[in-house]
Amino acid sequence: MSTETPLDLKKTVNLPKTNFSQKANLAQNEPARLEKWGKLDLYRLIQQTRQGRPKFILHDGPPYANADIHLGTAMNKVLKDFIVKSRSMMGFDAPYVPGYDCHGLPIEIHVERALEKKGKKKNELSVETFRRICREHAENALKSQTRDFKRLGILGEWDNPYLTMSNHYEAETVRMFARFIERGWVYKGARPVYWCIKDQTALAEAEVEYHQHTSPSVYVKFPLQSDPATIDPALAGRNVFVVIWTTTPWTLPANLGIAVHPDYEYSAFEHGDEVYIVASDLVEAVAAKCNVGETPPKVLARFPGAKLDRLEARHAWLDRRSLLMVGEHVTLGGEADAETELDVSESEKKADSKAGTGCVHTAPGHGHDDFVIGKRYGLEIYCPVDNGGRFTPEVEHFAGQRVFDANDGIVEFMRERGVLLFSEQYEHRYPHCWRCKNPVIFRATPQWFIAMDHAHRDLVEKDEDGRDRSNFTDNLPETPAASLRASALAEIERVKWIPGWGVDRMRNMLKGRPDWCVSRQRVWGVNIPVFYCASCPEAVADPAVIDHVADIFERESGDAWYTHEAKDLLPPGYTCKGCGAQEWTKETDILDVWFDSGTSSVAVLENREELRWPADVYIEGGDQFRGWFNSSLMIGIADHDRAPYNTVITHGWTLDAQGRAMHKSAGNAVEPDKVIKQSGAEIIRLWCASSNYFDDMRASDEILQRVTDGYRKLRNTARFALGNLDGFDPSRDSVAPEEMEEIDRWALAELNRVTAEVLAAYEAYEFHNVYRALYNFATVTLSARYFDIIKDRLYTFAPRNKARRSAQTALLQIADALARMLGPILVFTADEIWENLPNRIEPSIHLALLPAVAGGSDDALFAEWERLYAIRDNVLRALEEARVAKLIGSSLQAKVRLEASGSTLELLQRHQNDLRYLFIVSQVEIGNAGEDVSIKISTADGEKCERCWNYSTRVGESERYPTVCERCVAALNEIEQE
């Protein structure tokens, strides 16, 4: 016995102690940590640490450098950060080069509006000045986006992102155009494309959105000119009409034909002295709708559509032929799928089995299928509508009217002429401009195309000045090696799509898509690098010339197209192959911005030392099937005959709690900025991890509150472990596994199990499963079981007692592994946990690796402890009942008597010394009786120990420490000897 004065009991209890505070204060602490990372140059440090390891390349789909970020943009970038950080922590060299999409219509429109506010007009400025303002706007927007992305804890080359407007990128963009020309896939021609009459430009597939729209639905009769007896003798001498249906009456002035399906059966039925032809399946519906014919309709003849091939009708009111044609594209109904809605007439044909006649009004200048069949039958690609959507002067009766305004007039006109059988208002899904939200039209104009199937030399049209541009392909191989569509369809089968339906969606999109219209009548973009001879029809679209232009862009940016004359952009002394002249004009169209962004795989992956082509992963929203996934694939094939990605992941949309789209104006938008200021970026990150991003992701204040609660549970779990590691030196104090307490080994076995689960989830990009596994581990395994049970040991045993060190050894491994597994998701908090660990080597969690999974089977251990926990659950219930009955207050006031037999009794006897800790009671007795475990609760024997609050009959045995129990006396002796 020591002769010194007894210890102060309170000071001998090992209370948790850590700098890892309970309150996270994320809004304040995150910026401080970002600053620390900046000083450390953490991103660079990670790159250096992983140098020489296998590479993992996630290629960033560039967000548009226009507005501030919203929750969807934040989610997209956070998911990318999860991927990059988890692969880095798997040991890959995983660089992240963020990008920005800088050209295009939204910025032009923004700048135009800003100019208007200052009372200026776009055409008062030089193109160079206007482009400079657009460039400045993009620069400012991307700076502010960069600030927001960094604030979310996303690490990457923010000081050197890729910009589609950088000199090098613009040069690469025109070089890619040259690669398409080399393949023989580029042509200029008049084909119908989506056209916005407000913005006066062609639009890409990905630039239209489908919304409900009300149009006039009309049934119109076209008189048959050919002898009806050639169809069927029963029709000889009759007054026969072909009945068409359309929801775009304004396209009727451009009607040049009527398409029927060759294999469908058609019927001619009587209405007074007239006879109407429609598909047999639709006779009754048409007759009822238009109130024509007898009931039931009197059918005079039935025949396959093929019988009508190349017969002639007359236009409903114009003195012009309307040719009858057969085409497989004609359908009799079925709801349209937004993804395959390629043009107005397409959606019409599929819209509704009750609307329609099986005879399809065909205007080759106003529809994709119309164009294709029109070409096959040698029809003119006739489009009497100007850039502003007005009928040209040649359109009788309606010249100068805007097409949508003209609809009602055309309907009235047809009614007066007696050619209209029926009209009504019709609601359907209709393409709208993504930018100005106005309905778009399909309109044939001279545009540059990339052919999906072949070179389309036969499709090359004369331009507006009547000059033939076809000869630019003269020096190309006669037959292109392969079709772009076929190569693309083959490539997507090699790519891994997550979720798996991605490949079907991509396949459907590729199968149905028309040729890619790559020209835009705009100025903020990369110019189509083509020259026209001023003296003859020669057009120069020569890969060698384009590569020369690209070198100039490389030095001076794409502005060179405007600041230099044509001769200075061409190789010196370049003369026209057609006429020998040296005077040139420049193409004024720019490239589709999707061509720009599609170039990124080449411009970025191939040109940065730390990256490589192709990428391992692309991850974007479902809108990118028609957008970036598609354009990247096209350019990958043109340049490398290969898809530029090995895996493509699709994420859902961000919606509100009710599943509606978020809009600032609707007041249901969750603004990342606000959440960050209130709760911290971690809450947005954890929300991303907690939602299954393969589906749409819902967010609201309430949902974020639940996420915050989840965050708190994870934080408290880490805090308990860290607090009880105070004074633990792993190199001195660790306990070897075989010498650890069994429950500590059980906790580590559970940790091993959850680690395996988390690693598999990271591997599969299933971050919601990472979160779920870690959350359950923290709340169930640790908080509700393990931590409760080891508290007494941690707090009351002598600090260096081996049993206490055993628990600490387990806690250190748990805290260490938790920090690592949370590292990719809770980037700030995991780093903070890491900082407070006694064993860290790396200065930041982001330099560490994910924990390894130990081999061997713990099944016997799990089985043993699951049985004990089942008994524990029953005991805890009995204790709760005793508490309610006021028999006991705290559980330490209780004594538990368990009676059991057989293997259960053996189990209890094996763990005799664990049971009081397991139940958190002062005494446990075991008896041999009965089949099941019977539980009796009584008050504990003896006195309450002042130090550990357990009850014991041996309190008072020590003279030196008369108020404590025998366990505490032993602990105090140990402490005194330390």
Query: What is the signed CA dihedral for 11, 16, 19, 23, rounded to 10 degrees?
Result: -120
Write out the two tokens for 502: 């991605």
At its nearest, how many Å lie between Zn ion and the CB of residue 369?
A: 24
Q: Considering only residues 196, 283, 570, 688, which one is a binding residue for Zn ion as defined by CB under 5 A?
A: 196
At its nearest, how many Å lie between Zn ion and the CB of residue 518?
A: 18
Give the C-alpha separation, 597 to 176, whole Å.
11
Residue 773 backbone phi and psi in degrees, to 5:
-65, -45
Cβ proximity to Zn ion: between 879 and 945 the closer is 945
Q: Considering only residues 948, 951, 958, 972, which one is a binding residue for Zn ion as defined by CB under 5 A?
A: 948
Residues whose CB falls within 8 Å of the CB of residue 155, separated by 6 or more in sequence, listed in order: 37, 42, 43, 46, 81, 84, 85, 96, 827, 846
At its nearest, how many Å lie between Zn ion and the CB of residue 671?
A: 27
Site string for Zn ion, 435-474 (x = CB under 5 A): xx--------------------------------------
- Residue 721 touches Zn ion, criterion: CB under 5 A: no
Q: Which of residues 872-901 bind Zn ion (CB under 5 A)?
A: none
User: In 3-state terms, what secondary structure has residue 359?
Assistant: coil
At its nearest, how many Å lie between Zn ion and the CB of residue 304?
A: 43
Cβ proximity to Zn ion: between 487 and 958 the closer is 958
- Residue 536 touches Zn ion, criterion: CB under 5 A: yes
Q: Which stretch binds Zn ion (CB under 5 A): 167-175, 198-206, 707-715, 861-869?
A: 198-206
Concatenate the DSSP letters of all residues of 71-122 into one string: HHHHHHHHHHHHHHHHHHHTT-B-----EEB--SHHHHHHHHHHHHHTT--G
Q: Which stretch binds Zn ion (CB under 5 A): 407-415, 580-588, 664-672, 829-837?
A: 580-588
- Residue 541 touches Zn ion, criterion: CB under 5 A: no
- Residue 243 touches Zn ion, criterion: CB under 5 A: no
Q: Considering only residues 186, 190, 848, 968, which one is a binding residue for Zn ion as defined by CB under 5 A?
A: 968
- Residue 578 touches Zn ion, criterion: CB under 5 A: yes
At its nearest, how many Å lie between Zn ion and the CB of residue 962?
A: 12
At its nearest, how many Å lie between Zn ion and the CB of residue 950?
A: 5
- Residue 538 touches Zn ion, criterion: CB under 5 A: yes
Q: Which stretch binds Zn ion (CB under 5 A): 303-311, 412-420, 701-709, 964-972?
A: 964-972
At its nearest, how many Å lie between Zn ion and the CB of residue 311?
A: 40
Residues whose CB falls within 8 Å of the CB of residue 199, separated by 6 or more in sequence, listed in order: 105, 109, 433, 435, 436
Q: Considering only residues 363, 484, 510, 576, which one is a binding residue for Zn ion as defined by CB under 5 A?
A: 576
Question: Which secondary-structure segment (H or E) carries 920?
Answer: none
Question: Which secondary-structure segment (H or E) carries 304?
Answer: strand 299-304
Burial code (b: 16+ CB inside 10 Å, e: under 16) for 490-520 equals ebbeebebbeeebbebbeebbebbbbbbbbb
Give the C-alpha separation, 382 to 442, whole Å.
12
At its nearest, how many Å lie between Zn ion and the CB of residue 344?
A: 16
At its nearest, how many Å lie between Zn ion and the CB of residue 741?
A: 19
Q: Considering only residues 151, 390, 505, 947, which one is a binding residue for Zn ion as defined by CB under 5 A?
A: 947
- Residue 60 touches Zn ion, criterion: CB under 5 A: no
Q: Which of residues 471-510 bind Zn ion (CB under 5 A)?
A: none
At its nearest, how many Å lie between Zn ion and the CB of residue 345?
A: 21
- Residue 229 touches Zn ion, criterion: CB under 5 A: no
- Residue 817 touches Zn ion, criterion: CB under 5 A: no
Q: Considering only residues 165, 193, 965, 972, which one is a binding residue for Zn ion as defined by CB under 5 A?
A: 965
Cβ proximity to Zn ion: between 69 and 545 the closer is 545
At its nearest, how many Å lie between Zn ion and the CB of residue 882?
A: 22
At its nearest, how many Å lie between Zn ion and the CB of residue 899?
A: 27
Q: Which of residues 765-794 bind Zn ion (CB under 5 A)?
A: none
Cβ proximity to Zn ion: between 683 and 968 the closer is 968
Burial code (b: 16+ CB inside 10 Å, e: under 16) for 83-103 equals bbbbbbbbebbbbbbbbbbbb
- Residue 579 touches Zn ion, criterion: CB under 5 A: yes
Cβ proximity to Zn ion: between 436 and 490 the closer is 436
At its nearest, how many Å lie between Zn ion and the CB of residue 9?
A: 9
Q: Considering only residues 110, 198, 302, 608, which one is a binding residue for Zn ion as defined by CB under 5 A?
A: 198
Name the nearest CA neighbour of 843 among 96, 85, 41, 87: 41
Backbone dihedral region for residue 872 (phi beyond 0: left; psi -120 to 50: alpha; all else: beta): alpha
- My answer on whether omega of the bond before 296 falls inside 30° of 0, hence cis, is yes
SS (H, E, C) 810-832: HHHHHHHHHHHHHCCCCHHHHHH
Give the C-alpha separation, 263 to 928, whole Å.
86
Write out the two tokens for 497: 């799509």
- Residue 16 touches Zn ion, criterion: CB under 5 A: no
Site string for Zn ion, 392-431 (x = CB under 5 A): ----------------------------------------
Give the C-alpha separation, 756 to 851, whole Å.
9
At its nearest, how many Å lie between Zn ion and the CB of residue 470?
A: 14
Q: Considering only residues 60, 199, 542, 616, which one is a binding residue for Zn ion as defined by CB under 5 A?
A: 199
- Residue 137 touches Zn ion, criterion: CB under 5 A: no
Amino acid at residue number 281: D
- Residue 955 touches Zn ion, criterion: CB under 5 A: no
Instruction: Look at the chain and count its residues.
Output: 978
Name the nearest CA neighbour of 773 among 812, 816, 818: 818
Q: Which stretch binds Zn ion (CB under 5 A): 150-158, 529-537, 541-549, 898-906?
A: 529-537
Cβ proximity to Zn ion: between 822 and 920 the closer is 920
Answer yes or no: are the C-beta atoms of 96 and 58 closer than 8 Å. Answer: yes
- Residue 9 touches Zn ion, criterion: CB under 5 A: no
Tell the residue number behind the tokens 């032809």, with chain if given. Answer: 277
Answer yes or no: are the C-beta atoms of 538 and 576 closer than 8 Å. Answer: yes
- Residue 542 touches Zn ion, criterion: CB under 5 A: no
At its nearest, how many Å lie between Zn ion and the CB of residue 575?
A: 8
Give the C-alpha separation, 403 to 400, whole Å.
9
At its nearest, how many Å lie between Zn ion and the CB of residue 948?
A: 3
Question: Which secondary-structure segment (H or E) carries 227?
Answer: none
Cβ proximity to Zn ion: between 632 and 801 the closer is 801
Answer yes or no: are the C-beta atoms of 95 and 155 closer than 8 Å. Answer: no
- Residue 945 touches Zn ion, criterion: CB under 5 A: yes
SS (H, E, C) 426-466: EEEEEEEECCCCCECEEEEEEEEEECCCCCCHHHCCECCCC
**CA neighbours within 13 Å on the CB side: how many for 717?**
28
Strands (E), 166-284: 186-196, 201-203, 208-223, 239-246, 257-260, 265-271, 274-279
At its nearest, how many Å lie between Zn ion and the CB of residue 576?
A: 3
- Residue 528 touches Zn ion, criterion: CB under 5 A: no
Site string for Zn ion, 143-182 (x = CB under 5 A): ----------------------------------------
Tell the residue number behind the tokens 């969807």, with chain if given. Answer: 72
Q: Which stretch binds Zn ion (CB under 5 A): 137-145, 191-199, 783-791, 920-928?
A: 191-199
- Residue 433 touches Zn ion, criterion: CB under 5 A: yes
Write out the two tokens for 223: 């008189």
Sheet containing 584-586: give its strands across. Answer: 539-540, 531-533, 584-586
Q: Which stretch binds Zn ion (CB under 5 A): 276-284, 415-423, 576-584, 820-828?
A: 576-584
Residues binding Zn ion: number (CB under 5 A)? 20
Backbone dihedral region for residue 187 (phi beyond 0: left; psi -120 to 50: alpha; all else: beta): beta
The footprint of Zn ion (CB under 5 A) covers: 196, 198-199, 433, 435-436, 533, 535-536, 538, 576, 578-579, 581, 945, 947-948, 964-965, 968
